[in-house]
Amino acid sequence: MLKTTHLLIALPLLVISIFLESCTPSTTSNETVEVVEIPDIYTKNCATCHGADLKGNISQSLLDGSWQFGSGKNDIMRSIKFGYPHHGMPAWGGVLSDDEIDSLVSYILSEEERLGVSKPPIPDTLETQDYSIKVDVVAEGLDVPWAIDFIGHNKALITERSGRLRIMENGVLLPDSVVGIPEVRAFGQGGLLDVAIDPNYEREPWIYLSFSHGHGKVMEKGEEQIPAMTSIVRGKLIDNTWSNQEILFEAPHETYKTAGQHFGSRIVFDPEGFLYFSIGDRGTSDDAQDITKPNGKIHRIYKDGRIPKSNPFYNRPGAIKSIYSYGHRNPQGLAVHPETGQVWETEHGPLGGDELNLIRSGLNYGWPVISYGINYNGDIITELTRKEGMEQPIAFWKPSIATCGLDFYSGDLFSKWNNKLLVGSLKMEELQLLDIEKDRMMYRQTILKNAGRVRDVTTGPDGAIYIVLNNPGSILKLTPQPAM
């Protein structure tokens, strides 16, 4: 049902396993035995697969600290209610009520706590189809890090969602953050988001930031709220100070939303010198279909903020002229193919339906009219998965993995992976490698699992793969193991 490597077949086994092991008496007569009452709901529905002691039977243990489909209480409840049939986990929503599922999950988590079950440590090595990999933790103690990019071989910039821009130099995270970066509206999923270095940094030393920008105040549900929208700026780093800032994109303030979700946002550059950035639907899904609104879109501008006249809606009255494509839910992955220059995107679906898209000018990617997902509460968003005039994803994930962070590998250390796509996952805590041929995904493999929520991934100038983990707030560096 829920674990990392093996598929769960039935929920009943989970509950029975925990209860039976807990209730097994000791053979030593003078030993005090703690008897834990096993809920009937577990015994009847879960124990056959997950064992009476929760340590596994047909399916994997529930007490090894590793969860395949998310470790949060809501993740586990959704796993039980809706199931993952393709992974061998049936849906129990038609058998158990929400209250019963809630009590079952509370019991499982309480057993984890009682037995001191903890998350496995980050591994030192990984084995993949092509490489044995060394894993190094190069930075720790970050506050919800969101993105990383490099200035040369020895310096990297890291954003923290709370609003700090950090410097890692010669493999050491400096204690002081950059002074003078723009004020961000850090709430919900918003804050300081992406950082990108100008591809011609030696001649044009610009650094680009995306962040949630707040403006004004409104009354909502009896409380004063600050509306916000994703904004793009650039500036220069002089000593440890943010200088020469220029605002490249700031949406009309009347389009700002008080919702705390779906800001996007990534920044990439194509070979022609265009800058692309993403904005999520900001929790207002219908806006994704409205080209007079900035949210739910991929935008294209020049690096100095000018808008190309070749943009598809440049001459459309009332349209946001920077829009390049629309119908997106929450794009938190953007990458440019190193050979073709094509822009690729990953976006969060709801419950199911994360997408990998090849972004083309003026096209409609369908949200919320078409989707391969349903609402988090099980409600149907749309009956349609296809519609004329709307693009199909190159691939989609069902169940959702919460795609985040995207990069085409390009380097010497992992030469077999050149032009393959690295995809981060928040919910499943994975790093996946996708083989892309033209506009098709040929196969995918999981490189890293259960180290933490993968927020960003990038190829460093040294050819190593750098991974940003939200929890714990750390940066991993992957390099090939030397041949023995």
Q: Write b or e for each residue in 419-451: b if 16 or more Cβ atoms lie within 10 A of its Cβ, otherwise e.
A: ebbbbbbbbbbbbbbbebeeeeeeebeebbbbb
Fold of 125-480: Neuraminidase (2.120.10)
Tokens representing 190 are: 């918003």
CA distance 57 to 1: 12
Q: Report pTM.
A: 0.84
Please list the residues that pair with 331 across neighbouring strands.
Answer: 347
Tell whether omega for the bond before 39 is within 30 degrees of 0, i.e. cis: no
- Say what the pLDDT of residue 214 is: 97
- Say what the pLDDT of residue 483 is: 67
DSSP 317-354: TTS-TTEEEE--S-EEEEEE-TTT--EEEEE--SBS-E
Q: Where in the chain is the domain with CATH 1.10.760.10?
A: 12-23+34-114
Q: Write b or e for each residue in 276-315: b if 16 or more Cβ atoms lie within 10 A of its Cβ, otherwise e.
A: bbbbbbbbbbebbbbbebbbbbbbbbebebebbeebbbee
- Say what the pLDDT of residue 172 is: 94
Q: Write b or e for each residue in 161-200: b if 16 or more Cβ atoms lie within 10 A of its Cβ, otherwise e.
A: bebbbbbbeeeebeeebbeebbebbbbbbbbbbbbbbbee
Q: Where in the chain is the domain with CATH 2.120.10.30?
A: 125-480
CB under 8 Å to 161, separation ≥6 — which residues?
A: 143, 144, 145, 146, 186, 190, 191, 192, 193
In 3D, which of 155, 222, 131, 119 has the Cα closest to residue 469?
119
What is the CATH number that goes with domain 12-23+34-114? 1.10.760.10
Residue that the structure tokens 């605002």 belong to: 247
Tokens representing 125 are: 């090595």
- The DSSP code for 415 is G
- Say what the pLDDT of residue 93 is: 84
- Say what the pLDDT of residue 111 is: 82
Per-residue tens of pLDDT for the chain, all 484 residues: 444 433 333 333 333 333 333 333 334 444 444 545 778 888 878 877 787 778 776 667 787 776 767 777 887 887 788 877 666 678 888 888 888 888 888 888 888 788 877 777 899 999 999 999 999 999 999 999 999 999 999 999 999 999 999 999 998 999 999 999 999 999 999 999 999 999 999 999 999 999 999 999 998 888 899 999 999 999 999 999 999 999 999 999 999 999 999 999 999 999 999 999 999 999 999 999 999 999 999 999 999 999 999 999 999 999 999 999 999 999 999 999 999 999 999 999 998 899 999 999 999 999 999 999 998 888 899 999 999 999 999 999 988 999 999 999 999 999 999 999 999 999 899 999 999 998 899 999 999 999 999 999 999 999 999 999 998 899 999 999 986 6
Catalytically annotated residue among 213, 215, 253, 262: 262
Return phi, psi of residue 100, to 5°. Answer: -65, -40
Our answer to whether residue 262 is catalytic in this structure is: yes
Tokens representing 102 are: 């809630």
Note the residue count of the chain: 484
CA distance 360 to 209: 24
